Structure 1
Amino acid sequence: MMRTRPLKVALLGCGVVGSEVARIMTTHADDLAARIGAPVELAGVAVRRPDKVRGGIDPALITTDATALVKRGDIDVVVEVIGGIEPARALITTAFEHGASVVSANKALLAQDGATLYAAAEQHGQDLYYEAAVAGAIPLIRPLRESLAGDKINRVMGIVNGTTNFILDKMDSTGAGYQEALDEATALGYAEADPTADVEGFDAAAKAAILAGIAFHTRVRLDDVYREGMTEVTAADFASARQMGCTIKLLAICERAADGESVTARVHPAMIPLSHPLASVREAYNAVFVEAEAAGQLMFYGPGAGGSPTASAVLGDVVAVCRNRLNEATGPGESAYTQLPVSPMGDVVTRYHISLDVADKPGVLAQVATVFAEHGVSIDTVRQHGRQDGGGEASLVVVTHRAPDAALSGTVEALRKLDTVRGVASIMRVEGE
């Protein structure tokens, strides 16, 4: 039997995502009510610009006083899609204090101070759901928090930013340079006017912190995530990758150490074999590859951004939270019982592709090989060819076996000091093998 009193939802933010949340709540009201067991009602919408026309939303619901809205006391669920740290953090904690559960898409806040939000939710007996914070419409957070709760996750690796994947895909498939591919992404609306958060890896790093925390049951903050952007990736890097049977992706990688005593979280461009499932992820799509002890390898794929896909994830959380309220229960909270330390990037062990500009004369390869050996980095393959423009220089490409990142950094520093090395053209990690 359906409860007749509606569950009331307050919406904080009515931009691309918020407006879609409101639209779907209205157009699919009957279906949502049937799935929840009670009607859901949009009870208020907090915005910064009240005079903007918002089709399909009753103007009487619009307010600029977000704090008053979350303090009302009759609100069951607060949906926060304004982003940023403040006032979002204060509004979410205030919502908990006044008896509302929260659905958020705020990856930056969750990565920087998720512990505070979890603690406030637990203190006041409320839910905190955030499926939309990572990978848009792709069901990922709930499978990690619930479906795989009985398993041990060892690695999460994925493409979690559509803008960067679009740019790198265009560079790979068309031979375009970075700036040309970025311009196309901007023209199509995939990249913001200021793309820094995407191309420098900040967006992906926030998502990596969230994924690592859930996967490894430990607290991982944004500051714990090693980050490199992809603005230095060149057409020459893609040419080298193709020679190795690889492509290049900006990856978020979260790993449990082999001994199980620590974890790492990192974001950087990397070469991956064309045979790996992530290599075939095209355009602005996202995909996350999970390796679990019992379940094995799992792949989650789909649109990672956009108004409708993100709203789909938000409303999935709204349905779950509303069901919990009807049953006078709450869903999973923070699971950080392992309290594992986050190791520095220097401890990460992987393979490397290093491209050097060197003097084209006898003995250079031997000098370079000696430096690698002195730092304990084993060489797998070497390719050398003279520069077409002459000038007595050659290009030397070294691919290593697995080695600690700190050892590779020491190797590169020593290589730069050799008189025969004119420059280090690029350094790329090789993953997914």
Structure 2
Amino acid sequence: MKLFQTLAIATALLQAPTVFAQQTLINADAYLDVKKEKIINNISVLIDGNTIVKVAKQGTITPSKNTKVVNLTGKTLVPGLMDMHVHLTSDAEDNFLAAKGNSVPRQTVKAVKNANKTLMAGFTTVRNLGATGYAVIGVRDGINAGEIPGPRIWAAGHSISITGGHCDDNFSPPRAKSISGGVADGPWAVRAKVRENIKYGANTIKVCATGGVFSKGTKVGIQQLTEEEIKAAVDEAHLRGLIAAAHAHGTNGIKAAIRAGIDSIEHCSFLDDEAIELALKHGTYMSCDIYNTEYTLAFGEANGVPEENINKEKMVSKAQRESFRKATKAGVNMVFGSDAAIYPHGDNGKQFSRMVQFGMSPMQAIQASTLHSAALLQQDNLGQIATGFLADIIAVDGDPIDNISLLESVSFVMKDGQIYKQ
């Protein structure tokens, strides 16, 4: 019997198709070297499987007969973009209050759709900072398994909040006794919630350190989690090798989160000089969503956003943009974070022009979405078109340094060596 089994296995192996790593050669007019901060003309990029193996002048790489050649005449190659703050399970266009009744399966379907829209917009990596029922973790795993298209995802699971805080469910009536999955009060409860998120697949952690714009009954600038509670979350995340983000609009909450060792501050609306100095001292990253205010103020009322939330957006918008300007000028580590879901997914690239308008050079804005986002995620193989890096490459028509708005319309998308849009 053992002889027949051995022969059967050997026959199956002989009949199985031989799988070779697919080589792809991309020829383009230019590429953006985000590390050297310059455009390099007449470029070829050779990709083996999912990895860039050579970047050189056109004509210096001789492809084999099995190499797929992609000619992108008139295009500039840019590293795949990264958005460090999205919510794939929600759509800005939906009625604000009605959407809060969406089931986890319904949210998961939206996440599948929005993951694809995000990838087609040229964002090959995102951080999803909060979703109900681990929906995005399931979508992430489906993307990784090759079952659905989408960006590379760092997913937080449930956002951690105090009872009645920004990330709790304050819209349901008391009789419903509705409590969001991330609610925790006290340092050990916070640690337990971090552990629970990790148990179910979270590969990043988010805490809600202050009130927020789109919650009910919270004041944007007021601290919620104590510094001790934030530190408990950060310590637990770091112990498990994960980075942690803090939703923090208000000054005191921002400072508490930085002192607690948080890796990134989200929104960062009310910065004072001390907060900026702390961020510089600790190397903290800031992710400021300075585009979406325009969508909220233009369409929020029509989408059913309550007056309380629109008024809070009006209070935050100007201050947040000024904080962004101050932090950029001071040299704080800045990453690209859009809070997609507050405006339509797929429009992520529209934030680049606002980043330039409010203090960044075009190169700085692109670096925020490539080099600096990769550094925040602690990934040394993302964010550049260079030998040894993963083949996440997009293309635009022209020079994005000369015209940053070109990043709003991406014509070619490759992630992990696979072409998704051409």
- Per the TM superposition, whether the score is higher than 0.5 is no
More strand per residue: 1 or 2?
1
TM-score, normalized by length of structure 1?
A: 0.30
TM-score, normalized by length of structure 2?
A: 0.30
Which has the bigger relative contact order, CA under 8 A and spacing at least 6?
Answer: 2
